[in-house]
Amino acid sequence: MAGNLDLYKEAFCETFEITEDALPGLKYQAIKAWDSVGHMALMAKLEDSFDIMMDTEDIIDFDSYEHGMEILKKYDVTF
């Protein structure tokens, strides 16, 4: 669903104030904004956007733009 992908991208772009072209391959700590503080903000934003509660294991495992999509599938968020 295109809707979910847009929401997913928007969470990254808004939290880190970056543009969509920076998203493919983006990893934790690859940009200054995605540090532990940014990570917490991103998780909060994703939980809000998709109305989910992520498990601890998934929050600490979430380490890239692509891996994040895999993780969200567990919460029935499909792309």
73: which 2 tokens?
A: 């599938």
C-alpha span between 77 and 37 (Å, rounded): 24
Of the residues 20, 40, 70, 78, which one makes contact with another protein according to CB under 8 A: 40
Site map 4..33 versus another protein, x via CB under 8 A: -----------x-x----------x---xx
C-beta of 1: minimal distance to another protein in Å?
Answer: 27
| Residues 6 or more apart in contact with residue 29 via CB below 8 angstroms | 35
Cβ proximity to another protein, 7 vs 33, nearer residue:
33
